[in-house]
Amino acid sequence: MRRAYRRMARVTGLAGLALAICLAAAPANAACRLALALGLDVSGSVDDVEYRLQLGGVADALMASEVQAAMFAMPGAHVSLAVYQWGAEDQQNLLIGWTDLKSREDVTRVTESLVAYEARFRDPYTALGAAMRYGAALLRERPECWQHTLDISGDGPSNAGPAPQDALTDPQSRITVNALVINPGSRDNVTKDLTYTKTLLEHYRTHVLRGPGAFAETARDFDDFKAAMTRKLLRELRPAALSLAPPVQ
């Protein structure tokens, strides 16, 4: 047991040393450790109450003390955030353009803008593949960031536009796609039957997730969105130290 602890300590120490070397050697424009794009489903299946719960849930999750602790755990290597909403194939709208989160004040400004946003889509179609392509295009705007993560939230399968599994085909892409699956029709589903959610979760796991360490989180309903988003952000903001090295040029 003691040997195992000693080995773990050595590995942790080496990871920390490697990360410190990377931070010291990285050029100034490589100080972004993570570009994170959040894509929110606002198709016709999402009503006005659920829309507000999504925006408020993202804002509250970003303001959570444990999320901010993870976000600011690496001074000198910040997180950059963009938030967009999506619906049908030609319906994507940028809510928050790329913002470097270097302080709690930066996060507060982002959350205030989010909760004040009003415009939304109402088309019944859900174009998940098109939403993924939009998010990937956003991430390509931040090539200097060490990691690129697309965080897609949705309450239904894709029924329009390119298939999700065909949306991102560049074999050289370093984008990781994670998902937050929401139990649909949940406010009328008092028993919180998760049978359909399990099916939807499998759809996302099979057709949406990509990249090393990609994962899906679930929300029992839109009221649970804040807690699910908090769990998701914590996983995304706490990557393994050795994986944070800037890409070899």
Assess contact for 128 and 166: CB atoms under 8 A: no
pLDDT tens, residue by residue, 140-150: 999 999 999 99
Least confident of 43-47, 132-136, 161-165, 225-229: 43-47
Burial class (CB in 10 A: 0-12, 13-18, 19+), 186: buried
Task: For the chain, report the end-to-end CA distance as a whole number of angstroms.
Answer: 41
Question: What pLDDT sits at residue 42?
Answer: 83
- In this prediction, residue 193 has a pLDDT band, given cuts at 50, 70 and 90, of low
Class of domain 2-244: alpha beta
- Give pTM, 2 decimals: 0.81
pLDDT above 90 covers what percent of the chain?
A: 42
Provide the 3-class DSSP secondary structure of residue 80: strand
What average pLDDT does this structure show over 57-73? 95
DSSP one-letter code for 248: P
Most confident of 2-11, 35-44, 238-247: 35-44
What average pLDDT does this structure show over 13-18? 44
Question: What pLDDT sits at residue 105?
Answer: 96
Q: Per-domain residue ranges for the chain?
A: 2-244
What average pLDDT does this structure show over 85-105? 90
Assess contact for 82 and 37: CB atoms under 8 A: yes
Question: What pLDDT sits at residue 121?
Answer: 59
pLDDT tens, residue by residue, 126-164: 788 999 999 999 999 999 999 999 999 887 777 887 888
Question: Where do runs of H (alpha helix) occur along the chain?
Answer: 2-25, 48-63, 65-71, 104-116, 128-139, 164-167, 195-207, 225-237
pLDDT above 70 for 27: no
- In this prediction, residue 249 has a pLDDT band, given cuts at 50, 70 and 90, of very low
Q: Which residues contact 83 (CB under 8 A, 6 or more apart)?
A: 37, 38, 40, 58, 94, 95, 96, 110, 114
